[in-house]
Structure 1
Amino acid sequence: MKRNLEHIDYKEDTITLAKFAKALGHPTRIAILKHLENQSCCFTGDLVSVFPLAQSTISQHLKELKNVGLIQGELEPPKIKYCINQTNWKTAKSLFQHFFN
């Protein structure tokens, strides 16, 4: 019998951790974050030159990371500059550390 988990009152931290974990559920996204962690910021085109993937694929991964707040994008027409969202990055690290301890 399948249970409906939508009616469980999870703590906000649990929900946030799950969102971060889902966004990190693809190796390319983890690699992008590792790359961005060592850069102040970079453009989508920079990532295309680092990873052997189409620009549209890189853009989709960036969108997922941005949607959960792990990265932020700043419009610099005609490009978007991406960098780690330091506040949410610290939150993610703390939540994962607490979870694994």
Structure 2
Amino acid sequence: MSRGPENLVLRALRDIRADVAETKTELKSEMRSLRAYVASDILTVNAKIDATRKELSDQIMGLRRAVVDYHSVVIGHGVLISEPEARLRRVEQHLNLAAGDAH
């Protein structure tokens, strides 16, 4: 009669072992899926970061170009305005005229 309860305990332990093995397999599968999702999300985030960096870099380059163009225009106009003034001063000096007398 002692074999009956031992068989029940062994059967219960085997069932538990099978359930644990099945749960372990399911958990491994879910962990693999989770790793794949996380890796995919990381790649997506990295791609967005790279795109944002490129966009910011392009904007900075555009701003630099605009500043250089602006300075070129301003300096260009400044040279055009200053050249006649410098010539006028040289003429005034050559003719021994005071700056206020010439106007």
Q: What's the TM-score once normalised by structure 2's chain length?
A: 0.21
Look at both structures and tell me which one has the larger radius of gyration over its CA atoms.
2
Which structure has more strand as a fraction of its residues? 1
Q: What's the TM-score once normalised by structure 1's chain length?
A: 0.21
Q: Which one has more relative contact order, counting CA pairs under 8 Å at least 6 apart? A: 1
